[in-house]
Chain A
Amino acid sequence: MSVYLLRRLIQAALVMLAMSVIVFIGVYAIGDPVEILISPDADQAERARAIAALGLDKPLWQQYLSFLTNALQGDLGRSFVFNEPALKLIGQRAPATLELAFAAMFLAILVGLPLGLYAGLRPNGAGAKVIMAGSILGFSLPTFWVGLMLIMVFAVQLGWLPSTGRGETVEIMGLRWSFLTLDGLAHMAMPALNLALFKISLVIRLTRSGVRETMLMDFVKFARAKGLSPNRVIGVHVFKNILIPVVTVTGLELGSTIAFSVVTESVFAWPGMGKLIIDSINVLDRPVIVAYLMSIVLMFIIINLVVDLLYSVLDPRVRLESK
């Protein structure tokens, strides 16, 4: 187990290093931040001053080396735009994104699992057909459009929910959270639903196909023959077996929701990390882009590790190899 973990950690470090090179070169290749940030009234002398102030006058390898040295000390650079540490900016925005992502995942599991189970157990019923047709919609409608429709219906026409923003927040350990206030929850409802729609469909489909496959397996027949109640057969034996793909996909989906909920966050003016990264890309705020992508890589590495560990808990056949 510990050898396994150690190997994973070394792999992770290598991935991070490779990623930093790719990201740095990629970001360097697009555009010129000074052209974008500087006042159009600026003359050439002012341009030269700004280029030097942002450290862009040095050759690429020097910029990368100084980035790497600072990064090893936990400093991923200062934002060009805000003149604050990039990690601090990301940290300030993280709670908003995290609570939204977890709310969406929670909705996806809460709604998706039961519906998928139902559709899998009665595949030919009318209910199952409605659920499956609905899930196709959830897959295929663009998030952007659904978000705007939600706003038009629930905020503009009906006036039930606030259209945009984060609402009232509560501060816990210096971080602001919306999910602890009624107003915050009202603000969160539409963006969370918008994010969850795709995931609900995904979970429904995974669960349904898992159930249909598992129900035909020998151990289910044996369990039934043994005289276990249908609830126990489904709730314990079948359920445990269908969870593996669901956990894998949910884990990866959680990662991508945290990292790339850009569209939903822009439509609902939700001040999370997705909005930060898209704003930063628009103005080529290189330190923030690099720091953000690095943190995202780290997050995916951690999520994958957790998913692997969960496998071994859920399925005794999976052993963490430690050759």
Chain B
Amino acid sequence: MLGAGAQTLNLAVGAPVTSLDPHYHALSPNYAVADMLFDSLTAFDARARVQPRLALSWTPVAETVWEFKLRPGVKFHNGNDFTAEDVAFTIARVPTVPNSPSSYGIYTRAIQRVEVVDPLTVRFHTASPYPLLPVDLAQIQMLDSETHANPLTEDFNSGKLAIGTGPFRVLAHRQGERIEYARNDAYFGDKPHWQRVNYRMITNDAARTAALLSGDVDFIDQVPTSDIAKLRSDQRVTLSEADGLRLIFLALDHSRDGSSPFTTDNDGKPLERNPLRDVRVRRALSMAIDRQAITDRVMEGASLPSTQLLPPTAFGALPDRQVGRADADAARRLLAEAGYPQGFRITLHGPNDRYMNDARIIQAIGQMWTRIGVRTAVEGQPWATFVARAGRQELSAMLVGWGTSSGEPTSPLRSLLATFTPPRGWGGSNRGRYSNPAMDAKLDEALRTLDDAKREALLREATTIAMDDVGIIPIHIQKNIWAMRRGLQHEARADELTRAQDIRPAQ
């Protein structure tokens, strides 16, 4: 093990890192680690707002051209200079990584051409006006055109090519076990406090908490909700938390007019038409859910009840939208109005190993629906089997989550709610096949609007249309919770990333 001492941080994360290649597998644990080793042109702060990093400023110089000014004097770990050539090189490499199971190319696709103006100025040409470029580029970590001339994912994993401009260097990497880092003393930004960092992966929740309590590690992420109360009362430990960006919601089957596979009448016979296509039924189902009770009882306070896509303070979120109280009587009236005075039967599916307390949430909702006369059977499944069935439209009602890493609503609007249209890349995760032309039109306009204020207004309108139509039923937004030994402080991040540079000794 590394030399112990005040300058060493031992931390344990719950999700395994699969690769040190920053462009191989788009997955947030990988991104967190890449964010310690490399830098992107723009970056998200703890509140998921875009900030300068390797770029100092950016402006659209024409409808389809963005110009980025780069930070001077930045060096890679091996001493090479970071310049505009490296940007062009990186953008070219991203979509070409072999065998990538999930490419970062989705974040560079809008770029048609990279123009190197001078060593510190670079222009991105896009096919059509593209306001999200600064947001997308926050996902792309910059490589060195010399060092990474012939990059193999294996060489990143071994640490040989894991050379960036970031605040830490890799000392050793043991796949699925631990990563050891040393501080990059030449870092251009705020220097991290820790000379050495031991980044361990402990996937078992109970074992991770035990490792903190026994002093094996100083810091853990993904604190299980069942341990929150115990840890809060423990003198040796402090917690940090932030409202997250991961929405837990129900998707409903909009794909059929006729009978939906898991809805029947009270005698178990298939219904003639799909009740979920009726907005009154959807409103009733949403109204029946006591979100505050789920937050208090199931989540132990670790969530924010929500009836929209993002926390109210985020860009493009609806600041005044009320969550409202559950109202079983009003819900029953709505059902009767829709022609189901006696209700109907439905099966609510969900994963049981994916989101915090997922199986318990669907159980709670099943009881709340049954109370308004919609007799609900609940079926939790491992994510691996659940997600395949959900993607084939085999289910009627399902619990899913959505992490909006960009911190603004285009990503959930485009993937979850926009009409399923493969050629334009819309509705990629729209498993219920919800479709609303009015919302599509607003979103389309927003995606072409470079002006931030105008775009935000359009995104709010699109969100309002989809939420009033109950395209999906939001439940809550998860809080991200970390725990550490007393004497440390942590800047909790909305985007769930666990990075050593955010942890310091308490003042």
Contact = CB atoms under 8 A, between A and B. Distances in A.
A41 B103 CA distance: 10
Interface in B377-408: 382-385, 387-388, 391, 402-403, 405
A32 to B, nearest CB: 4
B415 A37 contact: no
Interface stretch (A49-57, A114-122, A123-131): A49-57
A266 B210 CA distance: 13
Most buried by A among B16, B18, B353: B18
B388 A151 contact: no
A268 interface: yes
Contacts of A30: 384-385
Given A39-B106, A41-B415, A53 B98 contact: yes
A196 B207 CA distance: 19
Nearest to A92: B175
Contacts, number: 167
A271 B177 contact: yes
Nearest to B422: A44
A189 B415 CA distance: 49
Interface in B1-16: 1, 16
Contact of B106 (A41, A167, A283): A41
A83 B411 contact: no
B29 to A, nearest CB: 11
A43 B425 contact: yes
Given A53-B98, A78-B99, A267-B206, A162 B201 contact: no
A284 interface: yes
B147 interface: no
B210 A89 contact: no
Given A41-B106, A163-B214, A33 B175 contact: no
Contacts of A43: 106, 415, 422, 425-426, 428
Interface of B: 1, 16, 18-19, 21, 24-27, 98-103, 105-106, 153-154, 157, 174-178, 200-204, 206-207, 210-211, 213-216, 353, 382-385, 387-388, 391, 402-403, 405, 411, 415, 422, 425-426, 428-429
Cβ-closest 7 pairs across A and B: A43-B425, A44-B422, A39-B26, A271-B177, A37-B101, A31-B384, A155-B214
Given A156-B213, A159-B215, 18 more contacts: A31-B388, A32-B387, A32-B388, A35-B387, A39-B26, A41-B106, A83-B100, A84-B157, A148-B207, A148-B210, A163-B210, A163-B211, A165-B216, A183-B1, A269-B207, A269-B211, A271-B176, A276-B176
16 contacts: A30-B385, A37-B25, A40-B415, A42-B103, A46-B105, A54-B99, A80-B99, A82-B18, A83-B19, A84-B153, A84-B157, A92-B175, A155-B214, A162-B214, A269-B211, A271-B174
